[in-house]
Structure 1
Amino acid sequence: MGSKELKDRKDLDELVEVVLPGAVEPEELRFRHRDIPVPGAGQIVVRVEATGVSFAEQQMRRGRYYDQPPFPFVPGYDLVGTVLTAGSGVAPDLVGRRVAALVKVGGWASHVVLDAADAVEVPAGIGAAEAETLVVNGITAWQMLHRKARVRAGGTILVHGANGGVGTVLVQLARAAGLRVIGTASARHHDALRELGVTPVDYRAEDVPARVRELAPGGVDAVFDHLGGRSVLDSWRLLAPGGTLVSYGSATTRDDTGSKQWPVLKILGRVWLWNALPNGRHAYFFNVWAGRALNKDRFRARLRADLTEVFRALERGEVTAHVAARLPLSEVARAMRLAESGTVAGKVVLIPDAQRNLPEA
C-alpha cells in the first residue's frame, strides 16, 4: 500500500451509493455497489462519514430542482469524510484528514471522488455529523448574511423558516453579529427559537406581514426568503428604506407540476425589476454556486474562507450544530420522509454503514 493510502483494509472494500432512478417515492430509491475508484491527478477519494438530506434532494426526487442532472443519478448535496487516497499532485499529508465538500450531487455514498481543491479541512474536535450540518447550510447562511445583506449591528432581519437547516444557522450567525431577529416557524419550534434570541412568528396562525409590521414598524433591514411564490412579494414590501431581500429558494412550489424553471425565473424577473427601480432597496436571488463557472479558483477560495469562518463560529460557541437525526445510509427512505415532514429542527444526517445486503439498482 502506497504512502498516500490509509492502512486500514476494511475501508477499501467497495463503494455503496444511493441511486435516484426517477421522480419516485423515497422507498423507491435504490442502492448500487461498485469498486472504489482510483483518484486521478489532483483528485482525492473521501470515505464519507456524514452526508445530509437538504431541501435540494427533496426537490430532486420530484424532478423539481432547477438544474438537476437527468435521471438516474446519485443525490447528496454535501458531505464530510476522511481522505482515503490521493492522486498525483496532491499533498500526501492530506490523506487521513477530515474534510468537507459541496458536491450538489453524488454525496449519498460510502466513498466519493473529489478534486482536492474542492475539499475544505474540518478543524480537529468537530465531529463529522456536526460539521455536516454546517456545510451547505452554513455556507448559504454566511454568504447571504455577510456577502449579500451586510446588515449593520443593531439592525433587524426577518428569517423565514427560522427552524430549518439554513434558518437555524442563519439566526445564530445573525445574533452573533448583533442583529435583532424575527423568525417564522410553526408554534412547536417557538421555544427553541426564543432560546436562540429570536422573536418567533407563527406562519400558520398569524398574518405574517401584519405581525412583522407590528414588531418592526419602520420595516426590516433584510429578509431571507426560501419560500418563493407570493412570499417574495410580501418580503419585498416589508423592507425598510435601504433594506435587502435575499431570496434563495421556492419551497412553496415543491409539489407543483409543470416547469421546474418557471418559479425561479419568475423570482429572477422580479429581482431584476426591483433593482431597476429607484427605490433605495436591493434584491438578490442567492445561489451558492454562482460564479463558479466564471472563476473556479475565486469560487473555491471564497468557499474555503467562508466555511472556515462558520467552523470557527461553531468552535466559539456562536453556532450550535443542530442534528435533527442520525440515520444509516441504508435507511435513506426513512431519513427523507423525516426531513420532508417539517416536524424536526436542524438537519437530518445520513451515516454510511457497512451493510452489504442492500437492494441493487
Structure 2
Amino acid sequence: MNSTASESVTADVTEVVLPGKVEPAGLEFRTRDLPAPAKDRVVLRMEATGVSFAEQQMRRGKYYDQPPFPFVPGYDVVGTVTAVGPAVDTALLGRRFAAVTKTGAWASHLVVDAADLMPVPDTVDAAAAETVVVNGITAWQMLHRLAKVPAGGTIVVLGANGGVGSTLVQLARHAGITVIGTASTRHHATVRDLGATPVDYRDPDMYDRIRALAPDGVDAVFDHVGGDAVEQSWQLLRKGGTLVSYGTAATKDEEGSSQLPVLKLFARLSAWNSLPNGKHAHFYNFWAGRRRCRTSWQRRLAEDLDQVLRLVADGSLTPQIAARLPLADAAAALELAESRTVSGKVVIVPGA
C-alpha cells in the first residue's frame, strides 16, 4: 500500500456490510479499492474496532438516526494512519489514533476526517484503547461533566458488567465514589472485582435491594435500559441527585418507530426536571453539541479520552475486553455481544 495522497488508490479494503434487518449471520462482506483521501482526510488501517449496543440496534433498524441500508457498521476505531490528504500534515503517517465514526469502522481500512483523530499512546494496546474510546468518553462525561458526583457519593450503575458500565464503575471508584452495580449473578464476581456491590438485575425486588443498600437515596443513577422501569431509577435518587439516562435497551426488540421510545423518554425526563424536588434528569447524547460547534465538541472528546487513556496507562483503569475476534468473524462477534453472557466489550481485530 502507498502512503501518499497522490495515488488514485491507497488500499484494497475488506468491509462488513449490514444489508438490512438481518440476524448476525446475515452480515455480508465486500472488497473494493479505497480511493486516496481527499483534502482534509486520512486513511486508517484498522487495528481494533468493536461491537457496541448501537450495532445491535442498527441490525434491527432501531438505532435513532442510523443511515439507510446497506451500510458498513462500526461506531469507533483505533488504527494507524497510512495515507493523508493534500492538506494534512504528513507527520501523522505511521501514528496511531482513535476516531469515532458512528458507522464504517468494521473494515480493514477506512477514510476519516483528520480533525476527528485522537492520539493513542503506543504504550496502550490497540484493543484496550478501542474498548475505552466511546465507552470511556461516555462514562467520563456522564460522571464528571453531567452528574458531577463528588467524592464520597454513592451511585447506581445499571449493567455494571457491560462496556460502558464496567468503565463507569472503575472511574467512579477511582474518584472515591461508592458504586452499586446491577448484573446477572454470573457476573457478580466481576462486578465485585471492579469495586462495586452487585445486585441481581433479574431479581423482581432489585430496586428494593438497592434501597436497602442506600436507604437515604443515591447521588446518581446511570440507566441505559429506559422503558417504564426508568421511573424506578428516578425514585432511587436523594434530593439533589441526578438521573442520567443513556439508552433504551428495554425497547430494542419492539417493532415500530426507532425514534418513538427515545421521544417518550425525553418527554418523561423533561417532566421530572420541572418538579420542585431538587432532583435532575438528563438524557446523555454522545453527539450533543456537534452541530452547534464541531471544533469544541471534538476538543472535549479528545480531552476526555486523554484522561481515560492516562488511567489505562497507569493501571488505574483496566479495559474489560470480553473477546477479540477477527474481522472475518464479525457475525460471531455480533452474536457473542448480543448473547448477554460476557463482561466488557467484544473487540474486532484485523485477523491473523
Which band: TM-score by shorter chain?
over 0.9
Q: Name the structure 2 match of 1:97.
A: 95
Q: Determine if contact 2:327/2:350 at 8 Å carries over to the other structure.
A: yes
From 299, 302, 309, the equivalent of 1:301 is 299
Identity, % of aligned positions: 62
| CA distance in structure 1 between the partners assigned to 2:88 and 2:233 by the alignment | 46
Q: After TM superposition, what 4+ stretches of structure 1 lie above 6 angstroms from structure 2?
A: none
| CA distance in structure 2 between the partners assigned to 1:153 and 1:318 by the alignment | 16
Q: Name the structure 1 match of 2:142.
A: 144
From 148, 151, 163, the equivalent of 1:165 is 163
Alignment of 1:67-146 (within 5 A): 67-146=65-144
Alignment of 1:311-326 (within 5 A): 311-326=309-324
Q: 1:218-242 deviations in whole A, cap 9, x for unaligned?
A: 1000000000002211000100100
TM-score computed with the length of structure 2 as normaliser = 0.97
Alignment of 1:24-39 (within 5 A): 24-39=22-37
- Cα RMSD between the aligned structures? 1.4
Alignment of 1:243-322 (within 5 A): 243-322=241-320
SS of the residue 1:230 aligns to: coil
| CA distance in structure 1 between the partners assigned to 2:43 and 2:69 by the alignment | 24
Q: Determine if contact 2:11/2:35 at 8 Å carries over to the other structure.
A: no
Where structure 2 has 5 or more consecutive residues not aligned to the other structure, the ranges are none
SS of the residue 1:35 aligns to: strand
- How many positions carry a matched residue from both structures? 349
Q: Name the structure 1 match of 2:61.
A: 63
Q: Name the structure 2 match of 1:227.
A: 225
| CA distance in structure 1 between the partners assigned to 2:26 and 2:164 by the alignment | 27
Q: Determine if contact 1:190/1:200 at 8 Å carries over to the other structure.
A: yes
Q: 1:30-60 deviations in whole A, cap 9, x for unaligned?
A: 0111112211111110000111000000000
Q: 1:81-113 deviations in whole A, cap 9, x for unaligned?
A: 000111122121111001001010001001111
Q: 1:152-189 deviations in whole A, cap 9, x for unaligned?
A: 00000000000000001000000000000000000011
**Offset at residue 3 of structure 1 (A):** 7.2
**Offset at residue 205 of structure 1 (A):** 2.7
Q: 1:283-319 deviations in whole A, cap 9, x for unaligned?
A: 1100101110110001000011001111011112111
SS of the residue 2:87 aligns to: coil
AA aligned to 1:151 is: V
2:331 aligned with 1:338: no
**Offset at residue 206 of structure 1 (A):** 4.9
| CA distance in structure 2 between the partners assigned to 1:4 and 1:302 by the alignment | 30
Q: Determine if contact 1:4/1:95 at 8 Å carries over to the other structure.
A: no
AA aligned to 1:155 is: G
| CA distance in structure 2 between the partners assigned to 1:37 and 1:4 by the alignment | 11
| CA distance in structure 1 between the partners assigned to 2:336 and 2:35 by the alignment | 32
**Offset at residue 323 of structure 1 (A):** 1.0
| CA distance in structure 2 between the partners assigned to 1:135 and 1:37 by the alignment | 26
Q: Name the structure 2 match of 1:186.
A: 184
Q: Name the structure 2 match of 1:236.
A: 234
Where structure 1 has 5 or more consecutive residues not aligned to the other structure, the ranges are 6-10, 355-361
SS of the residue 2:264 aligns to: helix
**Offset at residue 246 of structure 1 (A):** 0.3
TM-score computed with the length of structure 1 as normaliser = 0.94
| CA distance in structure 2 between the partners assigned to 1:143 and 1:230 by the alignment | 25
Q: Name the structure 2 match of 1:8.
A: none
